[in-house]
Amino acid sequence: MTPAQRKILELTKKPKSFSELKKDTGLTDGGLYKALQSLEKNGYITKTDLGYLITTKGIKIIEEKKMFTQGGITIIYEGISEEKVKEIYKILSNENNFYIHAFRESDHELDKILSLSILIPELFDNK
């Protein structure tokens, strides 16, 4: 799920028109239309007479995403235990330089698997 789609889910806790969502998200007509189509197709929102509204399934999706923040590092995670996230934080907090490379999210299973790579140059130094 893209950040724009997640924002739409948050905004549709109360019914919102296309125009309201466009204004609140800053998306183009085409970008918003595409995001709404995807969310509706997956059952995360529904279109009502009052506007777009999040579904129970959509609420579950945004509630599943968890966040851990400590020492200037924020990790947003799902499908992994908090203990594992704390292990990742411990590794990252001990590094001076690290780079995060994020892939664009999509419905393709391989993209989900490769959605995040953390590169720590010191691990690749041949000293």
Task: Note the pLDDT tens digit of each residue in 72-94.
Answer: 666 767 667 778 878 877 877 77
* pTM for the structure as a whole: 0.53
Instruction: Kindly list the distances between the CA atom of residue 109 and the CA atoms of 19, 66, 113, in Å, as whole numbers in the listed order.
Output: 32, 21, 6
pLDDT at 116 over 90: no
Summary mean pLDDT of the chain: 77
pLDDT of residue 15: 95
